[in-house]
Chain A
Amino acid sequence: MISCKGLTFSYGERVVLSDVSLDIPDTGVTALSGPSGCGKTTLLRLLAGLERQQGGTISGVRVQETAILFQDDRLLPWRTVEQQLTDVLPRDRRRDSVRLLELVELGREAGVYPAELSGGMARRLALARCLALDARLYLLDEPFAGVDLPCAIRILERLKMLPASVLLVSHEPQILSHACSVLCWPQRGEWGPSPHTPAPSPGGPSFS
């Protein structure tokens, strides 16, 4: 179990996370839901080691064992679809690029440049590149933004079969309903149970 206890983080004066706790299973897809600006992205960045929490602890996973998909695609405009993956894959796993492109249904686009892809295709490519990293915890920030729902659900089902844990941020109810579990951010200061998850445990503020 990957565990976050009492995480606190602020950008200057602005407090983004205050005493936040959550547990993430070692396998399966866990979805993270909540209003914009509630700190979901910051939480992923803390887990990926891109920011350092001012308080609290993260246990059960090391920074080197995580892989993050950013909210924006961050594709290299000068590299082809296939190269985006081979750039990230270790030398002995370069052939995996074919499997990864098929996983995100981009098998026929291997030779094209990102500028030639639609928004949804670029998003899927960014997802494939993230999955090309060898990780125990994949942190996916809105991985299906711009991806049509049937395709997103098909990919999500494939993600469930990964031998790793996936923590994804989404606002889409149908994506949430296909996740193995959903951690729902409390709104208006009250701990409301998510329609997809059991009631939260008592204690400090936490994803429930």
Chain B
Amino acid sequence: MKRLLYVLLPLIFWLGVWQIGSVLVSLTAGTRGGELLLPGPAVVLEVLVRLIGTAAFWRSVFATLGRVLVGLLAGVVLGSVLAGLTCAFSWFDVLVSPFIRVVRAAPVASFILLVLLWVGRDRVPAVISALMVLPVVWGNLARGIRETDPRLLELARAYRFSSWKVLVLIYLPSLRPYFLSGLTTSIGLAWKSGVAAEVLCLPKRAIGSRIYNTKLYLEVPELFAWTAVTVALSLALEYFLRRGVGRFGKGAVP
């Protein structure tokens, strides 16, 4: 009950702020102007309900979800492998670190336009999501590997653990908090960059393409509705993935 209140109270508060802001804008810019600049939550909800009832909505949602998931998975796998290699071989670290730092700092729009030249427009969002996720996962896991308790690693050596046992019994549980933290940031990034790539590449079925259309026709309530859908999907994905990973190494938290 208390937990539900912690979720509901801020939600009600911010919906209230939104509604008041929308009313104030309507008072200064007129009803039509207000709807154009800042539509209220009721209008957005109405548009959202209408959208949910259409098959095109679900096709766009599942297509984008698929791209983001593929990108996220590829970024996580690649980031994890690179983190392992950079910690295992110092020469690999010297070689790869600058590339990953460049990826982290470069504007996402540059990457989107560049990747659009190399692969089909349907694949760009997944590639971009993976590229944005990779540095986060790499950074977190590399730090986690370096901060693994050296006393436990010495124990493994003294007790003659096989490499497999060292990985499964020491490294993976030690990395769990670093991985969870990286995953949380990565999910948000994958959605942001994936949808941004869709807006620029305009795949046939995509949330980003629908957002682009709202800009063309000044359908601001629909823009809000699609944004709400993206946020909800991102939060839902974060919840399920964290729950899935959270089950692994349950006893890790004393």
Give every chain B residue within 8 A of A67 (Cβ-Cβ): 158-159
Q: Which residues of B from 150 to 173 have beta carbons under 8 Å from A?
A: 151-152, 154-155, 157-160, 165, 169-170, 173
* B98 CB–A CB distance under 8 Å: no
Q: Is B169's CB under 8 angstroms from A79's CB?
A: yes
B9 at the interface (CB under 8 A from A): no
- Residue among B157, B158, B173, B251 facing the most chain A CB atoms (10 A cut-off): B158
Q: Is B53 an interface residue (CB 8 A)?
A: no
On whether the beta carbons of B173 and A76 are closer than 8 Å, the reply is yes
Cα A70 to Cα B153 with chains together (Å):
13
Known contacts A76-B152, A78-B249; A133 and B159 CB within 8 A of each other? yes
- List B contacts of A114 (CB < 8 A): 254
Given A70-B151, A113-B251, decide whether A76 and B158 contact each other with a Cβ distance below 8 A. no
B residues near A78, Cβ cutoff 8 Å: 173, 249-252
Q: Is the CB of A74 within 8 A of B251?
A: no
Bound form: Cα–Cα A64–B160 in Å: 9
Q: Quick check: is A125 within 8 A (CB to CB) of the other chain?
A: no
**Count of chain A residues with a beta carbon within 8 Å of a chain B beta carbon:** 20
Residues of A within 8 A of B157 (CB): 50
Q: Closest approach, in angstroms, between the C-beta of B205 and any C-beta of chain A?
A: 43
Complex alpha-carbon distance, A11 and B250, angstroms: 39
Q: CA A195 – CA B12 in complex, angstroms?
A: 77
Q: Is A48 an interface residue, CB under 8 A from the partner?
A: yes
A76 touching B151 by the CB < 8 A rule?
A: no
Minimum CB–CB distance from A194 to chain B (whole Å) comes to 29
Query: With A77-B251, A77-B252 as given contacts, are A50 and B169 in contact (CB-CB < 8 Å)?
Result: no
Interface residues of A in 34-73 (CB under 8 A from B): 48, 50, 64, 67-68, 70, 72
* Residue from B154, B159, B251 in contact with A80 in the complex, judged by beta carbons closer than 8 Å: B251
Q: How far is the CB of B114 from chain A (nearest CB, A)?
A: 43
Q: Which residue of B lies closest to A114 (CB)?
A: B254
CA distance A17 to B250 in the complex (A): 43
Partner of B254, one of A72, A74, A77, A79: A77
The answer to the question of A15 belonging to the interface, with a C-beta cut-off of 8 Å to chain B, is no
Name the residue of chain A whose CB is nearest to the CB of B174.
A78
Q: Most B CB atoms within 10 A — which of A48, A50, A87? A: A87
Q: Once bound together, how far apart are the Cα atoms of A185 and B50, in whole Å?
A: 85
User: Is there an interface contact between B252 and A72, defined as CB atoms closer than 8 Å?
Assistant: no
With A78-B173, A78-B249 known to touch, is A72 a contact of B152 (CB < 8 Å)?
no
* Chain A hits for B155, CB < 8 A: 70, 74
Measured in the bound complex, the distance between the Cα atoms of B120 and A146 in whole Å is 66
* B interface residue numbers (CB < 8 A to A): 151-152, 154-155, 157-160, 165, 169-170, 173, 249-252, 254
**Which residues of A are in contact with B by a Cβ distance under 8 Å?**
48, 50, 64, 67-68, 70, 72, 74, 76-80, 87-88, 113-115, 129, 133
Nearest 3 pairs of A and B residues by beta carbon? A115-B254, A78-B252, A78-B173
Please, could you name 7 A-B residue pairs with CB atoms under 8 Å apart, sorted by A? Answer: A48-B158, A64-B160, A70-B151, A70-B155, A70-B158, A77-B254, A79-B251
